[in-house]
């Protein structure tokens, strides 16, 4: 049992779970718009968040010239380099629009933790921007990047589809914001810092109510029941969130909701 828990901890710690969550949202977009994702495409959509989140978590090792004292970290950094090389190689065979949007999304990820050129502040340090930057990055990656794989823009793609995904990610980020309330610097001005935990939960519930309205407006009857179930599940997670939550409440259970969403769609449709 101890060995399993150690592997599970590494699975979460090194952002494999969150990368699968992003890939799941990409797959949902592909199902909604009839996009065929090859193994190469899926590799890119998994690797991009995997590299991005691990870069955000471990970039100080490189830029502060912190010595690697563990074989585990040496092997991990080598693995990240290999993934980066393979992902960039795969993008060379895709359209220019994909490459351009992939570059923009990558730059957003870099500026999340690295300062602007000539300045000492990054996107994460800009007051109130953190949660919106996360949501924007997920929407670009899980909605617009797979859409660029199509030769023509689908007629049924409208602003409300991307906006609904944006609301979903905003709401899903709230349990993390509540968890980190005691750790985040005051200047970040996160929602729990500005409004308190209860008002932030009310905002999260409101976002998901709009999410439901958009689902009814877009009228996808084959998927709507599952989408509404997923929204209700996320709403429950937001409501029960607290600062002293269990270790894996946000990083596994909340993060795993997109994976459950895709699983249900595959099983029933």
Residue 38 CB neighbour total at 10 angstroms: 10
Q: Which residues contact 264 (CB under 8 A, 6 or more apart)?
A: 226, 229, 230
**Residue 261 pLDDT:** 97
**Residue 71 pLDDT:** 58
Q: State the pTM of this model.
A: 0.90
Q: Is 31 exposed, middle or buried (0-12, 13-18, 19+ CB in 10 A)?
A: middle
Q: Are 133 and 22 in contact (CB under 8 A)?
A: no
**Residue 127 pLDDT:** 67
The residue count for the chain: 269
Q: Give, to the nearest 10 degrees, the angle between helix 221-240 and helix 257-268.
A: 150
DSSP string, 133-183: HHHHHHHIIIIIHHHTTSSS--TT--HHHHHHHHHHHHHHHHHHHHHTTTT
Residue among 235, 93, 120, 242 nearest 168 (CA)? 235
At residue 58's C-alpha, the angle toward residues 23 and 56, to 5°, is 50
Q: Which residues contact 14 (CB under 8 A, 6 or more apart)?
A: 54, 76
Tens digits of residue pLDDT in 163-216: 999 999 999 999 999 999 888 877 778 899 999 999 999 999 999 999 999 988
For 76, the token pair is: 């991990």
Instruction: For residue 269, give the 3-state DSSP assignment.
Output: coil
**Top-confidence range, 36-50, 83-97, 118-132:** 36-50
């Amino acid at each position: 049992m101890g060995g399993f828990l150690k592997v599970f901890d590494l699975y979460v710690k090194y952002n494999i779970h969150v990368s699968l969550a992003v890939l799941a949202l990409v797959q949902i977009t592909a199902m909604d718009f009839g996009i065929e994702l090859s193994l190469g495409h899926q590799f890119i959509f998994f690797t991009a968040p995997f590299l991005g989140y691990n870069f955000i978590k471990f970039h100080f090792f490189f830029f502060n010239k912190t010595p690697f004292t563990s074989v585990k970290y040496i092997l991990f950094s080598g693995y990240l380099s290999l993934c980066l090389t393979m992902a960039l190689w795969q993008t060379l065979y895709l359209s220019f629009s994909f490459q351009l949007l992939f570059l923009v999304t990558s730059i957003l990820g870099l500026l999340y933790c690295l300062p602007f050129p000539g300045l000492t502040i990054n996107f994460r340090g800009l007051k109130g921007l953190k949660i919106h930057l996360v949501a924007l990055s997920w929407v670009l990656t899980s909605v617009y990047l797979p859409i660029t794989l199509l030769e023509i823009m689908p007629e049924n793609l409208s602003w409300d589809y991307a906006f609904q995904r944006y609301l979903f990610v905003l709401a899903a980020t709230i349990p993390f914001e509540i968890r980190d309330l005691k750790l985040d610097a005051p200047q970040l001005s996160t929602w729990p810092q500005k409004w308190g935990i209860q008002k932030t939960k009310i905002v999260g519930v409101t976002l998901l109510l709009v999410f439901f309205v958009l689902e009814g407006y877009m009228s996808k009857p084959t998927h709507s029941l599952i989408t509404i179930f997923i929204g209700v599940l996320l709403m429950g997670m937001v409501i029960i969130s607290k600062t002293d939550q269990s270790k894996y409440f946000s990083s596994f259970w909340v993060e795993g909701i997109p994976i459950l969403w895709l699983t249900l769609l595959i099983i029933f449709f």
